[in-house]
Every structure is written in C-alpha cells, then in structure tokens.
Amino acid sequence: MGKPFPLVLEPADGTVANFVSLQEFMINNHENVLKAASEYGAVLFSGFKISSGEEWASVLYKTSLKEMDYIGGNAVRNLIVGNDDRMEDMQILTTNESPPSEPIPFHHELAQTPNPPSHICFYCRHNDSP
C-alpha cells in the first residue's frame, strides 16, 4: 500500500537514452526490475528512445523472462517481431487491429492460457516515431 503505480524508471541524468542503454541496464538489473514489477504492480521505462518492436525485443532478450506464444483471444493482431512457426522466437504483436467502432471487452491478457506467464511486457510507440 502507498506505493506509486507504476514505478517509473528513467535515465539518471534526465536525458533521453537509446535502447542500447536500456539493454545494458537490463543486463545488470533485470532481477531487480522483475522484483519491482511484482512489488509495484508495473514498471514503466520512460526517457528511452525505442523506435521499433525489434529494439524492444532486443531489450527483452536481456532479461530472464521466458518467451511464449500468443494463444487465443478474439482481437485481430499483427505480428511485428518473431515468427509464427517457431515457439522459441520472441513475439511482439499489435494490441488490436479491429476497427475503432468495435468495442474491446474488459479482459486480462493471456488469462485463457493454461500456464500464464509471470510477467507481461508492453511496448508503446508514439505516433511521431518512425
């Protein structure tokens, strides 16, 4: 109780850092980040220039998290990173490609899987990113 949600982690010097800086941080601190995610409910990385799903996937490879395929769900999604045919590939998908007129029912990501992951990671690309 009384902890901020989410915990926001930013470069110490207040500048915008590239994804390689976040990779290096994750190599040295991934266990602490996972503990913080459990303690605070979520960790938000702010102030890092991550321009693509591929760059985000490269950051995630530096953690101890296990990859798993997206299974189930009714939303239309597009694969950004990974391979539909290989279970061991990191997969990054769009969230929902349905028309804006279609409602998105309240749901919990990957709740329908028999063995849900311990953590779920999201990447948000700003509209002004390439």
Residue of higher predicted confidence among 10 and 103 = 10
Nearby residues of 93 by Cβ (< 8 Å), 6 or more positions away: 70, 77, 78, 79, 80
Q: What is the pLDDT of residue 42?
A: 93
Domain range list for the chain:
1-130
Whether residue 6 has a cis bond before it, omega within 30° of 0: yes
Dig out the tokens for 80 from the structure: 């950004």
* Backbone angles phi and psi of 70, in degrees to 5: -75, 125
pLDDT at residue 7 greater than cutoff 90: yes
Q: How many other C-beta atoms lie within 10 A of the C-beta of residue 79?
A: 14
Global confidence as pTM:
0.74
Please list the residues that pair with 43 across neighbouring strands: 7
Q: What is the pLDDT of residue 78?
A: 74
Selecting from 3.40.50.300, 3.40.50.1820, 3.60.130.10, 3.40.640.10, what CATH number does the domain 1-130 have? 3.60.130.10
